[in-house]
């Protein structure tokens, strides 16, 4: 059974993961507005990943006998001047998510909830990847600057991304959860 403080932290993080999805879906819309279908694709895949993260946490809370309480999701930003600005915001956002996940892991240790601490290790590793990917795209957009050929190439690369459900979600779906 989850401690109430841990359950509250999960409920807050589930909301944050859903909000993260909203941010990326909003960025997908802006990329479409900029005529960058590859950027739209990349952000749509990121949106799907964030929803998967929320589902994984949702399932974990229920498995541990907790209760998920969904709250209103904050309205995301809708305007950015270019792809670089979107990826800079994505990086800052992911750094914030990392801090939140670290706080949850610290709380789990304080509560001697080793099962939850172990569960959160997947998310900690995932955040390292999320930050690295966002930093890489920020660097690429900075190199391309406003050069149409560079932006075209980046958009092609962004368009190649496909969604693959994360392993914990595959396991949840296989178990019928």
- pLDDT tens digit string along 146-170? 999 999 999 999 999 999 999 888 7
Q: Could you report the per-residue pLDDT of 38-87, keeping only the tens digit for each?
A: 999 999 999 999 999 999 999 999 999 999 999 999 999 999 999 999 99
CB 51 within 8 A of CB 18: yes
Q: Please list the helix, strand and coil fractions of the chain in percent, rounded to the nearest 5, in that order.
A: 75, 0, 25
CB 63 within 8 A of CB 44: no
All structural domains of the chain: 4-174 (1.20.1260.10)
Note the pTM of the prediction, 2 decimals: 0.94
Residue 17 CA to residue 51 CA, distance in Å, equals: 7
Pick from 20, 44, 150: nearest CA to 94: 20
């Amino acid at each position: 059974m989850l401690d109430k403080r841990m359950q509250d932290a999960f409920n807050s993080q589930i909301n944050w993961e859903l909000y993260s999805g909203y941010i990326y879906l909003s960025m997908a819309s802006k990329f479409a507005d900029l005529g960058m279908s590859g950027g739209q694709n990349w952000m749509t895949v990121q949106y799907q990943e964030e929803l998967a993260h929320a589902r994984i946490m949702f399932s974990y809370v229920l498995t541990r006998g907790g209760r998920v309480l969904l709250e209103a999701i904050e309205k995301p930003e809708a305007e950015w001047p270019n792809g670089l600005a979107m990826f800079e915001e994505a990086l800052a956002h992911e750094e914030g998510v990392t801090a939140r996940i670290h706080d949850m892991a610290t709380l789990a240790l304080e509560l001697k909830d080793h099962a939850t601490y172990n569960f959160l290790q997947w998310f900690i590793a995932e955040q390292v990847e999320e930050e690295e990917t966002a930093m890489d795209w920020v660097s690429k957009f900075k190199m391309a600057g406003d050069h149409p050929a560079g932006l075209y190439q980046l958009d092609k690369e962004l368009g190649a991304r496909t969604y693959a459900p994360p392993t914990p979600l595959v396991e949840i779906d296989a178990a019928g959860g």
